[in-house]
């Protein structure tokens, strides 16, 4: 079939001056519709009908033919029907042929994809429609006015997803058989509406529409690789989720290894897209097929071969907490828990790049009290060293009934039931909390905390809670933030610290209000709230 695509584009836009030729994400607005039409598998002839020299020049530059319309078809009150008819007649004479199908494509629909356009043409041809126009399904509880009264356009008040289709016409395309094109009409008797995806449906008529289109066209495809299982905990998972929530204006997908049973469950609960792999080769294939713009690795150390292969298939690679050989090859490495280790230009060190969760950005820090009434005990999502049990034994030996202890038990902590049963037998002033939804509330109520030396210590610092640290493993010991200069008492690797040292340190801190006050003041000097914006800019390569 011979198909003609006509793009009508006047130069006198009033809502957005020079709209059709203004740059939208680096390209003239009209170029999007031209390229969509030229890229169609149906080999469309593409012509721009215009009264403007600048539009003519840009349209030629992007490969379209141009037809200068006569003055009487260029005024504000002229409808599209005579403009399209003029273009068809003129171009048929020029090409010495009669077209089978004529498609009107508005230049104000830059989000339309060639894939959707081709699907609509196929739908038109296969179903032998006379006319198919683009529409978007936007079901709403709508009302209208009739005989001076406002009446509903629905029969039952239902949630949006259960309402019947409500197709709104868009300007993306208007497909008709040639025989129905005349000066006053483009409709044939058999009409259908092709449902365009909502993110492709925008018609740019206002500055707000322009802003939305710009956001949509600037979206990146981001793949976040994270791991989360008993041995390493869930810190990487929580950070990955925090990044995903903050990349709401981009397309985010997670990938985890099949080993990450706890992580998979947590990501599943978040309703983000995710994929499970068994080896790196499966990741490489995913990157190749998915056409991702950015890969974020949050899985500790990487090697050179892995990063080389990732960079072959992905435009940008950003790693977290990477001290391996692969770090030198990544586009950026963010090590927020470490002080500066080297002078590599691609590395970002220290707590300035810590990503704090939203709840801590709006929470009020804990208030200083002379007398300790509440102690918070928290050792991460899995507590592989079972430091929780040791602290519970110490609490039992202190036997100070006027102090309440809250133990936070992570979703991966395997000995929760055993711990709770033992505490109930001893009638301790203790509560156990599983699967916490709002951690900041517990931290805000705490006068002292006992914690591991991972990501939780930064949350405690943001809430100004004087904290005793016990590292879960040797790697945690290298997290330099967790020392006295930032308000922590660091006892070192938990398994090497005897119970009496923990007990005496806790009692000393309970009975030392001036020390606790100084620790809080040290924590308050660190502003951790801007880290997420810094990290977002690094990942998107927008940092200065």
Tell me how far CA of residue 181 lies from CA of 51, 129, 174, 187, in angstroms: 21, 14, 11, 7
Query: In a 3-state reduction of DSSP, which class is residue 187?
Result: coil
Spell 101-128 as b/e; 16+ CB within 10 A means b.
Answer: bbbbbbbbbbbbbeebbbebbeebbeee
Q: Is 95 a catalytic residue?
A: no
Backbone angles phi and psi of 229, in degrees to 5? -150, 175
Q: Which two tokens stand for residue 36?
A: 């969509």
Between β-strands 101-104 and 131-137, what pairing exists: parallel, antiparallel or unpaired? unpaired
The C-alpha angle 326, 332, 335, rounded to 5 degrees, equals 80
Spell 278-295 as b/e; 16+ CB within 10 A means b.
Answer: eeeeebbebbeebebbbb
- Counting Cα atoms < 13 Å in the Cβ hemisphere of 186 gives 22
- Cβ neighbours around 340 below 10 Å, total: 12
Which are the contacts of 488, defined by CB distance < 8 A and separation ≥ 6?
Answer: 457, 461, 467, 468, 469, 481, 482, 519
Backbone angles phi and psi of 259, in degrees to 5? -70, -25
What is the C-alpha to C-alpha distance for residues 465 and 524, in angstroms, rounded to an integer?
A: 10
Nearest to 101 by CA among 132, 59, 69, 63: 132
**How many residues comprise the chain?**
544
Q: Which two tokens stand for residue 328?
A: 């030198």
Between β-strands 65-68 and 45-50, what pairing exists: parallel, antiparallel or unpaired? parallel
For residue 511, the 8-state DSSP code is T
What is the C-alpha to C-alpha distance for residues 387 and 108, in angstroms, rounded to an integer?
A: 61
- Which one from 57, 157, 160, 225 is the annotated catalytic residue? 160
DSSP states of 294-362 = EEEEESS---HHHHHHHHHH-SEEEEES--SGGGGGSSEEEETTS------TTEEESGGG----HHHHH
Return the bridge partners of 450, or none. Answer: 377, 468
- Counting Cα atoms < 13 Å in the Cβ hemisphere of 447 gives 21
Nearest to 528 by CA among 403, 389, 350, 379: 350
Catalytic positions, written as ranges? 160
């Amino acid at each position: 079939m011979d198909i003609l695509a006509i793009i009508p584009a006047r130069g006198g836009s009033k809502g957005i001056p020079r709209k059709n030729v203004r740059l939208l994400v680096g390209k003239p607005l009209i170029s999007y519709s031209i390229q969509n039409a030229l890229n169609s598998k149906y080999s469309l002839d593409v012509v721009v009908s215009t009264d403007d020299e600048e539009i003519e020049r840009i349209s030629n530059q992007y490969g379209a033919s141009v037809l200068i319309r006569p003055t009487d078809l260029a005024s504000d009150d002229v409808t599209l029907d005579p403009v399209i008819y003029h273009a068809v007649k003129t171009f048929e004479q020029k090409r010495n042929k009669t077209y089978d199908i004529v498609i009107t494509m508005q230049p104000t629909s830059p989000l339309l994809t060639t894939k959707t356009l081709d699907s609509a043409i196929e739908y038109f041809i296969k179903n032998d429609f006379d006319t198919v126009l683009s529409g978007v399904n936007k079901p709403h509880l709508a009302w209208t006015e009739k005989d001076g009264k406002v009446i509903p356009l629905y029969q039952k008040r239902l949630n949006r997803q259960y309402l019947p289709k409500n197709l709104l016409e868009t300007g993306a395309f208007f497909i008709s058989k040639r025989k129905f094109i005349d000066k006053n009409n483009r409709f044939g008797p058999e009409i259908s509406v092709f449902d365009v995806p909502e993110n492709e449906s925008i018609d740019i008529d206002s500055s707000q529409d322009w802003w939305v289109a710009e956001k949509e066209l600037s979206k990146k495809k981001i793949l976040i690789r994270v791991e989360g299982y008993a041995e390493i905990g869930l810190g990487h998972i929580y950070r990955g989720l925090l990044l995903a929530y903050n990349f709401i204006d981009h397309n985010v997908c997670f990938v985890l290894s099949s080993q990450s049973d706890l992580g998979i469950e947590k990501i599943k609960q978040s309703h983000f897209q995710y994929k499970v792999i068994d080896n790196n080769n499966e990741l490489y294939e995913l990157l190749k097929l998915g056409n991702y713009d950015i890969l974020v690795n949050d899985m500790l150390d990487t090697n050179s071969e892995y990063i080389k292969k990732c960079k072959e298939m992905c435009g940008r690679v950003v790693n977290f907490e990477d001290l391996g050989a692969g770090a030198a090859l990544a586009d950026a490495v963010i090590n927020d828990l470490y002080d500066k280790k080297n002078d590599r230009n691609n590395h970002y060190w220290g707590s300035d790049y810590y990503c704090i969760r939203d709840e801590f950005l709006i929470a009020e820090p804990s208030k200083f009290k002379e007398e300790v009434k509440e102690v918070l005990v928290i050792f991460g999502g899995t507590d592989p060293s079972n430091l929780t049990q040791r602290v519970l034994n110490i609490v039992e030996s202190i036997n100070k009934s006027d102090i309440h202890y809250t133990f936070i038990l992570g979703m991966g902590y395997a000995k929760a039931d055993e711990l709770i049963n033992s505490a109930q037998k001893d009638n301790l002033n203790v509560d156990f909390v599983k699967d916490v939804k709002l951690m900041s509330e517990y931290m805000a109520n705490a006068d002292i905390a006992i914690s591991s030396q991972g990501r939780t210590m930064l949350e405690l610092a943001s809430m100004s809670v004087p904290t005793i640290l016990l590292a879960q493993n040797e790697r945690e010991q290298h997290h330099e933030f967790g020392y006295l200069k930032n308000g922590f008492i660091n006892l070192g690797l938990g398994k090497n610290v005897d119970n009496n040292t923990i007990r005496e340190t806790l009692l000393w801190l309970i009975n030392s209000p001036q020390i606790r006050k100084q620790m809080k003041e040290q924590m308050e000097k660190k502003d951790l709230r801007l880290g997420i914006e810094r990290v977002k800019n690094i990942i998107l390569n927008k940092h200065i």
